[in-house]
Chain A
Amino acid sequence: MKLKTILLAEDSPMDVELTLEALQLHHEVIVVEDGVAALDFLHRREKYANREAGNPDLILLDLKLPKLNGLEVLAAIKKSDLLKTIPVVVLTSSKEQPDLKTAYELGANAYVVKPVVFEKFMEAVRQIGQFWANLNETPPVTPGAPSGLHG
C-alpha cells in the first residue's frame, strides 16, 4: 500500500525535524518553509512545476510562516476549487482566540496547539496523521483535475 502524502508547511527546522520524527515512518512528508512555497507546491509552479500531479492527502500548516502567513495560505487553499477538499490541520503554538476563530472561519478542518512536552507532541502529531491522512475520506476533486499524487 502506498504511503499517504502530507504537506508540512513549517519554517522552524527544529519543529520540522521533530514532526518528521513522528510522521515519517508511516507517511510521505513534503516540507515547505514558507507560505509562497506551500502554494507553489499545491499549484505545481515555480520550482514545483515539474512535480508529479495530484494533491497531498493532508496539509499541516503552521501559522507563523514567512512571506505569506498560515492564515493567508489557508484562505487561498479554501478559495481554490482544486484544493479546497484537502484537509488542512493548523498546527501552531498559538492558543489565542482570534487565531482559532479566524482559522475556522477560513475553513480549517482542525486546529491543534503544539504541546511542549515531547511525548505529547509526538502523540498529537501521530494521531493527526493517522486520522486525517489515513482514516478520513475526502470527496472526489472536480472532474478534470489531477487525480492525486499517486495517480
Chain B
Amino acid sequence: MVSIKGLFSSSSTRKAAGPDTPFARRFRNVSSALGWALLAGCLVEAVLWILSKNSPAAESVFDWFPHQPLAAFACFSLIGVGVLSVQKIPYTTRLFQFAAGVLIILIEFFSVTLGAGGVWGMDRLTAWVVLLLGFILASGGSRIPLIGYIRQMAIFAVFFLCALVLAGYIYEGEDATGGLVAFLHIPWTSGLMGLVAGHALLLQHPNFGVMRVLSGEGFGSAVMRRLLPTTIVLLLLLGWMLAIGEEMHLYPASFGESMYAVLAISGFSGMLVTTAIYLNRLDGDRVSQEAALRRNQQQLQSILDNTTSIICMKDLEGRYLLVNKSFCRAVGRTKGECVGKHVRELFSPEITEGTLERNRRALERGEAIEAIESISSSPETPARTFLCATFPLLDATGFPYAVCDVYTDITDIKRQEEEIQHLNQSLREKTRRQEAANNELEAFSYSVSHDLRAPLRHISGFGQLLSQRNKDILDDKSRHYLSVILQSVDRMGALIDDLLAFSRASKVDLSWKRVSMQETVEDVRTELESHWAGPRVAWDIGHLPEVEGDPAMLRLVWVNLLSNAMKYSGKNPVPRISVQCVPNGTEEDVFSIVDNGAGFDMRYVDKLFGVFQRLHSSQEYEGTGIGLAMIRRILERHGGRIWAESSVGQGASFYFVLPTTKSAADKALEA
C-alpha cells in the first residue's frame, strides 16, 4: 500500500511513494495551472463585485456572470493559493495549506450556522462544496493513508455535486425550480470553481490511490487516459445534443432516449475499436522490445561464454551470482556447482583472501581497479599470470549490489614480452659487437692506408733517385725493371688513395644541405672535360632537380659516374652520355646515366659494386675498382640505391634513386 507520508518529506523519499512517471509530472503541472485559473477567476469575480456596487454596466454583466458571496470568494482564493503552494512541498507551505483548510472550514461553519443573507450568504450547496474543499485542502499534507483515501472520496463527491450543477445549467437552463433542483440551483460559477478546485487538488498527488492508475505507465493506465476524457466528452455532448433537440421540439422525448442509446452504442464501439488498435500496437511494441532484449541478453551471454577471459559476478558477501564458461573451465566445475557458492568454497585461502581484498578495494573506490596476479589452480600446475580487472556494479540509486571480476590470462603475452626483451638484448649486444668490429676495421684500414703510403713514397723516391743517378750506367733491362717498380708504386698509391676515400665516404658525418643536381653535374662535367683527352663527348643533360644531401659526397657520386661513362665510351668515335631524372612518387627521384661505351656482361652485374671488383682489365681501362663501391656506400647513406643494366658493346645504363629530402631519407633508412 502506498503511503502519502512521502509527500511530507524530502524529494528522495517522495520517490518511494511511487514512480514519478511523465504523466505524474504532467498532472502536477496541470494542477498548478488550475490553481492559477482558480485565483484568476476569484480575482475577476472580486473586481466585478466591487464595480457592480455603483456601475449599472457591471451590474448587467452579472446577469450572465452571477457573483458569489464574499465568503465563497475568500474560500476559493485560499484553495487556489493552497494548490499553488503545495507544488514544491516544503514543510511551511504544508502547514500553510493545513491552516488555510481549517480557516475555510471555520468560515463555512459560520456561513452555515449564521444562515443566509449579507456577505456571509451562501447557498447551502456552495457551503457544502466549500466545506468539503476545506477538508480536502487541510488533509492534503497528511501522512495517514486512510485520510488520503477519504480525501479522494471527498474530491469525487465535490466533482459529483459540481457536475450536477453544471449539467443542470447545460441541459435545463434556468427554468426548473423546487426540490432537488432548488438545492442544486447555485450560480454556475460556483459549480465551475468547485470543479476546477477539485481537479487541482486531485492532481496534486498524482501517485496516490485512484490517481496512480491514471498516471501509471502500464497498459491499463494508458487505456484509461485515452478512454476517460473521451467518455466524459462523448456522453456530455450526446446529452446536450438531445436536450437541445427536445427543447427545439425536433422529436419527442421517447425517440430522444432511443437515439441516445444508439448513439452511445456507436460512440463506445468506435472508442473500443480505436482502443483495441492502440492496445495491439502497444503489445506489438512490447513484443519487439522483448525480442530485442532477448537478443541483447543472448549477445551478452554469447560474449560471456566465448571470451577467453574469465568473468564472474559476486554479491557483496563474496557469493557467486554469475560465472562464464571460462570460469567453469578454470575451476573444473559446472555453472550449477559455482553459482551460489562462496569464493572460499572454490579456491584456496590465499586466492580467496586476494580476491576479497581486491573486491573491498574496488567497492571502496567505487570504480574499476586493475592488478596483475599469479594464480595456480592446483599445487601441481604451474602458476599462470592474470590481469584482473575488478569493478562494482551499481543499482539505480548508485549503491553497489555486486562486484564483477574479469581475469585475462597474460601468461603467454608476458612470456613473449620477455622473449622479445631477451632478443632485443642480444640484438643490442650483437649490434654493439658489430659496431666495435666496424670501428676496429675502420681504424685498421685507416692505419694500413697511411702506413702503406710512407714505404711507397720511399720506394718511389729512392727508385727515382737511383734511376737518375745511374741513368748512364744502367742497361736497358735494369731501366725497365726500375720503370716497372715505379709504375707499380704509382698504381698502389692510387689504390691506397681510393681506399682512403672509400673509408671516408663510409664514416664521415654527412652535412645535409639542399644540393642542385643540375649545377653539380654541369660543374663536374666541365672539370672532367678539362682533363679529357678522348674524342668530344655528345652530352644530353636533362632537367635535374634539387635534393637534400651532403654536397661533397653527392659530387663524388657524379665525378665517379660521369668519369666512368666518359672512360668507357672514350673508345667510341662519337661518345654519347645522357643524364636524366624522373620523379618516382613524391619522395624520391630516379637519376639515369646512359652511355654508348663498352658496356659489361650482365652475368657479372653483382660484382660491379664490390670493393676492388673490376669487369675490365687495367690494360683496357684504368681504375682501381673502388669508385662504384664508394658510390653505392654514399647513396645508401643517403637512403638511396643504385643498379646498372648493360650488355657487352651496347653501352651501360646506371640508375640511382635518391630521396628528395632528409626526412624521406631517414624514413628510407629506417625501412
Contact = CB atoms under 8 A, between A and B. Distances in A.
Interface string B464-493: 110000000000000000000010011011
Given A117-B489, A118-B460, A118-B464, A93 B500 contact: no
A18 B454 contact: no
Interface string A49-78: 000000000000000000000000000000
Place the interface of chain B in its size category. 20 to 34
A92 to B, nearest CB: 9
Query: Among the interface residues B458, B462, B490, B504, which one has the most CB atoms of the partner chain A within 10 A?
Result: B458
Given A97-B508, A117-B490, A14 B461 contact: yes
Interface string A110-124: 000011111101000
Nearest to A18: B461
B384 interface: no
Given A14-B462, A119-B464, A114 B457 contact: yes
A18 B458 contact: yes
A124 to B, nearest CB: 11
Interface string A7-43: 0000010110010010000000000000000000000
Contacts of A21: 461, 465
A116 B455 CA distance: 9
Contacts of A79: none
A18 B500 contact: no
A96 interface: yes
A116 B446 contact: no
A95 interface: yes
A115 to B, nearest CB: 8
Interface string B430-461: 00000000000000001000110110111011
A72 to B, nearest CB: 19
Nearest to A13: B458
A15 B458 contact: yes
B463 interface: yes
Contacts of B496: 116
A14 B458 contact: yes
B450 A118 contact: no
Contacts of B508: 97
A94 B449 CA distance: 9
B458 A96 contact: no
Contacts of B500: 95
B191 to A, nearest CB: 114
A42 B461 CA distance: 30
Nearest to B509: A97
B153 to A, nearest CB: 110
B444 to A, nearest CB: 14
Interface string B188-200: 0000000000000
Interface residues of A, number: 17
Contacts of A95: 500
Contacts of A12: 454, 458
B457 A116 contact: yes
Interface in B494-521: 496-497, 500, 504, 508
A96 B457 CA distance: 18
A126 B465 CA distance: 16
Given A93-B450, A94-B450, A97-B508, A116 B463 contact: no
B308 to A, nearest CB: 60
A117 B493 contact: yes
Query: Among the interface residues A95, A97, A116, which one has the most CB atoms of the partner chain B within 10 A?
Result: A116
B446 A96 contact: yes
A112 B446 CA distance: 18
A80 to B, nearest CB: 29
Contacts of B462: 14, 18
Contacts of A119: 464
B453 A118 contact: no
A118 B500 CA distance: 20
Nearest to B501: A95
Contacts of A94: 450
Contacts of B504: 96-97
B457 A18 contact: yes
A116 B460 CA distance: 7
A23 B371 CA distance: 84
Given A21-B465, A95-B500, A97-B508, A114 B453 contact: yes
Contacts of B497: 116
Contacts of B465: 21, 118
A121 B454 CA distance: 12
Contacts of A115: 457
A114 B458 CA distance: 11
A129 B464 CA distance: 21
Contacts of B464: 118-119
Across the A-B interface, the 10 shortest Cβ-Cβ residue pairs: A116-B493, A118-B464, A18-B461, A14-B458, A118-B460, A118-B461, A93-B453, A93-B450, A116-B457, A116-B456
26 contacts: A12-B454, A14-B458, A18-B458, A18-B461, A21-B461, A21-B465, A93-B450, A93-B453, A93-B454, A95-B500, A96-B446, A97-B504, A114-B453, A114-B457, A115-B457, A116-B457, A116-B492, A117-B490, A117-B493, A118-B461, A118-B463, A118-B464, A118-B465, A119-B464, A121-B457, A121-B461
Given A12-B454, A18-B462, 16 more contacts: A14-B458, A15-B457, A93-B450, A93-B457, A95-B500, A97-B508, A115-B457, A116-B456, A116-B489, A116-B497, A117-B460, A117-B489, A118-B457, A118-B460, A118-B461, A121-B457
